[in-house]
Amino acid sequence: MYLLIPAAGVGKRMGSDRNKLLLEVRSQTILAWTLLAAQAADQISWIGIISQPIDWPDFKSILANLPLTKPVELIIGGSTRQESVYNGLQALPTAAEQVLIHDGARCLVTPDLLNSCAQAIRQCSGLIAAVPVKDTIKVVDESGIIQSTPDRSHLWAAQTPQGFNVELLKQCHAEGVRQGWEVTDDAALFEKCGIEVRIVQGEETNLKITTPQDLAIAEFILTSRSSSK
């Protein structure tokens, strides 16, 4: 299975002066943790890291220091995640029929979740890992007034990996460009095109490292994993 890793962000909400994927948790960069999970997932056979050339010297030294046996390519990212994935799709080898997309910032993903998504995408056109939301969610207008409370039993928090049929995802991205759609994940493009996307049970610990607090939580989770081995 082909895996694209969007890693071309700047990490604004982290407040750091460099790509947050270069920050360390338990002596490894966030990018390294994500790559180690991809290396350990035996269903993954090719890895494309979508990234900004300014980060390539750092990314190359991370790659050189990891025990990776799978082919890895660096692909130039765009100014939004959507553009980055678009570039990643153009750079996939022509043999790729399905693709998994997994955010570099979700460095706590397990090899099991990557494997189960890789297996499931062979049987459907689109899927995402997601978990049921625990909080009650409110829809609020611009003046801070609640408009409605959606039934929680239908609410899921989207994660990555997300898996797609490559041809369909390319078509949906092209339609997105034509229509000027701006989305925060690829599943949303499928939804707008009216193509079914399935849920795969995600993992509570599969958080996206976004703020400094998430770094502390990731440190805690990785430490408890290493002591339970």
* Residue 186 contacts which entry, Mg ion, ligand CTP, none (Cβ below 5-8 A, type-dependent): none
Q: Among 9-17, 29-37, 91-99, 209-217, which window interacts with Mg ion (CB under 5 A)?
A: 9-17
Residue ranges in 75-94 that form contacts with ligand CTP under rule CB under 6 A: 77-81, 84
With CB under 5 to 8 Å by kind, the binding choice for 105 among Mg ion, ligand CTP, none is: ligand CTP
Residue with smaller CB distance to ligand CTP, 29 or 84: 84
Is residue 163 within 8 A of residue 120, CB to CB? The reply is: yes
Cβ proximity to ligand CTP: between 20 and 173 the closer is: 20
The SS3 assignment for 211 reads coil
- 71 vs 212: CA distance, rounded Å: 32
Among 117, 110, 127, CA closest to 43 = 117
Sorted by sequence, the CB contacts under 8 Å of residue 119 that are 6+ apart come out as 43
Least separation in angstroms between CB 22 and ligand CTP: 11
d(CA 113, CA 200): 9
**Token output for 207:** 């958080």
CB 50 within 8 A of CB 87: yes
Q: Does the footprint of ligand CTP cover residue 152 (CB under 6 A)?
A: no
Stretch that binds Mg ion, among 6-14, 95-103, 145-153, 172-180 (CB under 5 A): 6-14
Nearest residue to ligand CTP, scored by beta-carbon proximity: 9
Residue 50 Cβ, how far from Mg ion at the closest point, in Å? Answer: 13
∠ CA 46-126-174, nearest 5°, is: 85
On whether the CB atoms of residues 88 and 149 are closer than 8 A, the answer is no
- 126 forms part of the interface with ligand CTP (CB under 6 A): no
Residues engaged in binding ligand CTP (CB under 6 A): 6-13, 20-21, 50, 77-81, 84, 103-105, 208, 210
